[in-house]
Amino acid sequence: MEGLQERIALALKALAKLHELAARQEITEVERDALIKRFEFSFELLWKCAKSYLYEEEGIDAASPKKVIRASREVGLLDEEETRQALLMVDDRNLTTHTTDEEFAGDLARRIGTYDQLLSRWLVRIQEQLKEEK
């Protein structure tokens, strides 16, 4: 359980940094690039946090982000619409190496605001489930 608590703490810190930029109405090109990088590491920390939760608390061994997302829906951490958004988020995360494509980078930066909220809700639900199980 300590490993999961550490992952949660790291995810909380990463999401706070992501939110700092995602909440801005106007960002520069450099801030946009930083936003995308913060999204990358926030997403990585969150899906791995969910993976640990699923394994340690639910006995579900899911190895990839999309499997973790689908399993999260099965145990009530995500609803149907959030699952759809999260699967799109994985696709966007997989394309972030293409941030030299200005159009894609701009489109992704606009979607990250929605992803920021989704990642936060996902983590809150993990924390709530842990409290209920104690």
- List, for residues 16-40, the tens digit of each pLDDT value: 999 999 999 899 999 999 999 999 9
Please state, rounded to an integer, the average pLDDT across all residues of the chain. 94
- Written out in words, the top-level CATH class of the domain with range 2-133 is mainly alpha
- Residue 112 CA to residue 116 CA, distance in Å, equals 6
Mean pLDDT of 74-89: 98
Say how many C-beta atoms besides its own lie within 10 A of residue 59's C-beta.
Answer: 7
pTM for this model (two decimals): 0.92
Identify the pLDDT of residue 96: 87
Residues 6+ apart with CB under 8 A from 7: 45, 48, 49, 52
Average pLDDT estimate for 30-55: 96
Domain ranges across the chain? 2-133
